[in-house]
């Protein structure tokens, strides 16, 4: 399959077309509204129902994960530009959306587009764009950084600017209203919204003995946890394919969502009756604990970025400490209950 990427190597089937400037994406993360996790066959049925055209891809290791075929949305609108780039630029093409389910429970709707400059600076016949799924062409040449900053900045939210969020939301609503789901989730949660932009980090130095390692050393990522449930992620990578970038950002978004959800929950129940607290903690641990599986399908180049995130802020460190805190609470309560029981037993005998 033709995979646009942040690479600068020319593709012979693309004639004289310009190289990709930036890959833009947004992913919404939440839970399916169903009492239990879906089994593999149920997951595949749901995703095939949602997007009948094309194949559902699924993984069993190290954690069940399935992705729908892509859905395309036609766009002819503005892309915001960062400081120094002017206000916006018109772009035409398609954005590509997918729905992913992890562990039969965590639902992610993502929308992605690779941006290039139009070869002739005009809108082409629509067939030009349907032959280039998930690509947007700017009608005037732009700097990659301006497009990335514009997309992630406040200008990226204005009316008339490509609204990936609305596309993700529509898709999420369709999933939640699917006839095979009950329409209700046992866990209260908020959707998180992660917008991301990836540009090329240049080229691998010539003579580098191991291209993949050299590429990995050049990769950079910056994540910002914004107001409420908004996050942004800025990536520079040498030759990551769009699929790899989307996979990486989806993975970061998923683990950030688990942390956000559990922290929010613990905060919410901190003043509640101990019995209720325990029931809720039990629910969290049963539903989410096994889903923590960072970097499961992330490419070599980008897995280095995961390692950096593990160093700072230390996603897994925080998760382990949260799990330990919840387990301690259960253990303490159990010990306390046991003490009460023993006391009661002694008094009786």
Q: Is 163 in the site for another protein (CB under 8 A)?
A: yes
Q: Is 133 in the site for another protein (CB under 8 A)?
A: yes
Residue 95's closest CA among 134, 130, 129, 126? 134
Beta bridge partners of 92: 76, 137
Sort strands 22-31 and 220-225 into parallel, antiparallel or unpaired.
Answer: unpaired
Stretch 55-74: interaction string toward another protein, x if CB under 8 A: x-xxxxx----------xxx
> Which residue number, 166 or 342, has a Cβ lying nearer to another protein?
166
Kindly state the helix (H) or strand (E) to which residue 137 belongs, with its residue range.
strand 135-138
- And the tokens for 223? 């994540």
Coil vs helix vs strand at 38: coil
Coil vs helix vs strand at 16: coil
Sort strands 57-59 and 230-237 into parallel, antiparallel or unpaired.
Answer: unpaired
Residue 233's closest CA among 252, 216, 255? 252
The Cα diameter of the chain in Å comes to: 93
Q: Is 39 in the site for another protein (CB under 8 A)?
A: no
Q: Is 45 in the site for another protein (CB under 8 A)?
A: no
Stretch that binds another protein, among 52-60, 215-223, 249-257, 309-317 (CB under 8 A): 52-60
Q: Which of 47, 118, 147, 167 binds another protein (CB under 8 A)?
A: 167
Q: Is 126 in the site for another protein (CB under 8 A)?
A: yes
Asked if residue 151 has a cis previous peptide bond (ω within 30° of 0), the answer is no
Residue 129 CA to residue 137 CA, distance in Å, equals 9
Residue 73's closest CA among 100, 46, 113, 108? 113
- And the tokens for 127? 């067939």
Stretch 263-302: interaction string toward another protein, x if CB under 8 A: ----------------------------------------
> Which residue number, 169 or 217, has a Cβ lying nearer to another protein?
169
Q: Is 164 in the site for another protein (CB under 8 A)?
A: yes
Sort strands 106-117 and 135-138 into parallel, antiparallel or unpaired.
Answer: parallel
Min dist CB 204 to another protein, Å, is: 18
Q: Which of 77, 285, 293, 330 binds another protein (CB under 8 A)?
A: 77
Q: Which of 76, 217, 230, 310 binds another protein (CB under 8 A)?
A: 76
Min dist CB 53 to another protein, Å, is: 4
Contact 292, 319 (CB under 8 A): yes
Stretch that binds another protein, among 13-21, 233-241, 254-262, 273-281 (CB under 8 A): 13-21
Stretch that binds another protein, among 47-55, 199-207, 266-274, 328-336 (CB under 8 A): 47-55
- Residues lying near another protein in the complex (CB under 8 A): 1-2, 12-15, 52-55, 57-61, 72-78, 92, 94-95, 111, 123-128, 130-131, 133, 159-164, 166-167, 170
């Amino acid at each position: 399959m033709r995979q646009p990427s942040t690479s600068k190597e020319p593709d012979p089937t693309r004639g004289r077309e310009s190289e990709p400037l930036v890959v833009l994406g947004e992913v919404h993360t939440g839970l399916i509204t169903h009492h239990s996790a879906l089994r593999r066959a149920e997951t595949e049925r749901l995703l095939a129902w949602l997007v009948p055209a094309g194949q559902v891809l699924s993984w069993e290791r190290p954690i069940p994960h399935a992705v729908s075929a892509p859905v395309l949305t036609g766009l002819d609108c503005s892309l915001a530009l960062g400081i120094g780039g002017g206000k916006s630029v018109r772009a035409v093409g398609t954005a590509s959306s997918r729905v992913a389910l992890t562990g039969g429970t965590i639902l992610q709707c993502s929308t992605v587009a690779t941006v290039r400059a139009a070869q002739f600076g005009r809108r082409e016949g629509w067939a030009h764009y349907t032959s280039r799924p998930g690509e947007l062409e700017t009608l005037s040449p732009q700097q990659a950084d301006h497009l990335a900053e514009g997309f992630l900045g406040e200008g990226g939210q204005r009316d008339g600017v490509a609204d990936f969020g609305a596309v993700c939301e529509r898709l999420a609503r369709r999933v939640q209203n699917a006839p095979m789901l009950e329409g209700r989730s046992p866990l209260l949660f908020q959707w998180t919204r992660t917008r991301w932009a990836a540009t090329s980090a240049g080229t691998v130095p010539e003579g580098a003995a191991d291209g993949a390692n050299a590429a990995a050393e050049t990769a950079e990522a910056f994540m910002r946890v914004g107001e409420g449930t908004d996050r942004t992620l800025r990536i520079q990578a040498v030759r990551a394919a769009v699929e790899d970038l989307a996979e990486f950002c989806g993975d970061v978004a998923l683990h950030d969502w688990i942390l956000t959800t559990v922290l929010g929950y613990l905060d919410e129940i901190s003043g509640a009756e101990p019995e209720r607290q325990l029931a809720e903690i039990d629910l969290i641990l049963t539903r989410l604990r096994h889903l923590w599986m960072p970097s499961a399908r992330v490419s070599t180049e980008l897995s280095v970025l995961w390692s950096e995130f593990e160093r700072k802020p230390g996603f897994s460190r925080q998760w382990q400490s949260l799990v330990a805190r919840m387990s301690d609470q259960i253990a303490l309560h159990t010990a306390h209950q046991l003490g009460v029981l023993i006391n009661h037993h002694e008094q009786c005998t």
